[in-house]
Every structure is written in structure tokens, then in C-alpha cells.
Amino acid sequence: MMSRKFMRDETAVNIELGYILNLIVIMIFLAGFTGAFYLRADASSQQAQRAEFTDMGSEIARDITNMYLSSAHSSNENNISFTMTHDIPLTLGGKGYTIELKDPDSDGMASVIIKEGSYEIGTRINAIDTQVNTDGIVYSGSGEITISMTMKKNNTEETETWVWIK
């Protein structure tokens, strides 16, 4: 008796409309799960990018420091030049980036800045004094970075040092 009542009830939801409503509810849940996954994946990508930017900045700073210290303790009295070339990855954390060498700031330290969009990591080069001129910018699409250093000593015992990347 109860089943006949339900079979003849015309106030119930249409079957097609019920399928559509179920589909909409399932789509909302799937969108929520997918969105949460991508937010988590993006955070992991940024964390990997930060670590890779820091590692690369440290490597470049190490190379520049080694060049600078080698030239300071060189027996050559006049001019010293170093050039070093490294392969760099096209992407870090899945995104392209730029590497920029900045002049010493008010603290007296030059820095290597690696940035992607508004995100940037700076690595200070603490072995270089304020008298060193630094310059250069490299884009990740080039696939390599060339670090060059020239130290010139003139007759008045003043030293002019240039470090640049290209």
C-alpha cells in the first residue's frame, strides 16, 4: 500500500531533474577537492623554487668570492682577469627566472638576486668590498651564465675591480 502511494505521487522531483541536481552537487565537491589539491601543489612548488633559488644564488656567490679572493692574493702586480661559465637550468620550480648582480648596498655587500615575477631571493656576497663595481643580468632561457672579473691596479696603488655576469 505504501509503495502505491509513492508511485502515484506527482509532487516528487522529476527523474531527469534529479540527475542534473546530483551532477551539480558532484561537480561542486570535485571542484573543491581539485582546488584544494592545486593550492597545496602550488605551495610545494614555491617551496621548491625558494630552495633552488637559494642554492643557485649561493653557488654564484661562492664562485665570485673565490675569484675575488684569488685575485687579491695573486702575485701578478698589474691586471688580473677571470672568466667562469656554468650551465643553468631553464626553469627552477617549474618557472623561468632572472639572475641579477647588484652593486654593494649601504651595508657594503654586493648581492646576487634571483627572481621570478614578484618573487625574489637575494644572496649577499660578503667577501667583496664597496669598491667593487658589479653589473649584469642573465635570463634563464639562455641556459648558461658567464661570470667575469677584472682587477686593474694603476700607478697610484688604487685598484679598480669589476665583476659582471652575462
Q: Is residue 22 part of a domain?
A: yes
Buried b (16+ CB within 10 A) or exposed e, 153-166: eeeeeeeebebebe
Q: Is residue 154 part of a domain?
A: yes
pLDDT classification of 25: cutoffs 50, 70, 90: very high
Would you list the DSSP string of 96-133? --EEEEE---TTS-EEEEEEETTEEEEEEETTS-TTEE
Examine the pLDDT at 48 and tell me if it is beyond 60.
yes
Q: Is residue 147 part of a domain?
A: yes
Q: Is residue 161 part of a domain?
A: yes
Give the residue-averaged pLDDT of 86-102: 85
pLDDT classification of 23: cutoffs 50, 70, 90: very high
Enter the DSSP assignment of 140: G
Q: Is residue 9 part of a domain?
A: no
Global pTM? 0.68
- Contact partners, residue 82, CB within 8 Å, separation at least 6: 67, 70, 71, 147, 148, 149
Q: Is residue 3 part of a domain?
A: no
Q: Taking all residues of the chain, what is their mean pLDDT, rounded to a whole number?
A: 80
pLDDT, tens digit (0-9, with 9 covering 90-100), for 106-146: 777 888 889 888 788 888 887 776 677 888 889 988 888 88
Range of the domain at 110: 15-165
Examine the pLDDT at 39 and tell me if it is beyond 70.
yes
pLDDT, tens digit (0-9, with 9 covering 90-100), for 9-20: 666 667 788 888
Q: Is residue 78 part of a domain?
A: yes
Q: Per the structure block, which three cell numbers stand in for 28?
A: 561542486
Q: Is residue 141 part of a domain?
A: yes
Give the residue-averaged pLDDT of 69-94: 79
- Domains in the chain, number: 1
Examine the pLDDT at 5 and tell me if it is beyond 70.
no
